[in-house]
Chains A and B, each alone.
Chain A
């Protein structure tokens, strides 16, 4: 099971050759103990959705830069 914290980055691999990875910032963890589902904000256009990670997903710590 993937566990995450608010601020981590969710990455979904491309499903076809040449298709880029998609990534989103986790803004809320809905499951117990960091488990899915996650409410995320997609980096492309800022849209939010729930994500239930599958075999195509992994979590990276979101390296936020102070401004």
Chain B
């Protein structure tokens, strides 16, 4: 099991690359292959962008904290914010079937998070704030994981 690593940055889009790369490096250091690292990047990018765009909205001064840890088989990402509580599991499915004229791009973000990761959990942090826990299987058992491609 690897020791937890943690990063905290202001919840602004300009820090997205740094937050994603921190998590991706944690995945690489834990033995995740390039396909798993790709999926981790997509999921973390989506969660953090949602926090910036929809969580804090116009509020200033909010932050995003990411902590990563791993066992031989699981890479675990904990993403915390202090934005209003939002449970992504209540979102309706996005439109993935309409023809191009009618296709609407909304709600794809969380759809991708669920598709890229093996486990996605949300926990409110009291009256305000969210903890999102993402788990990606790594190592020999990964081939059977949903979303492994």
A binds B: no
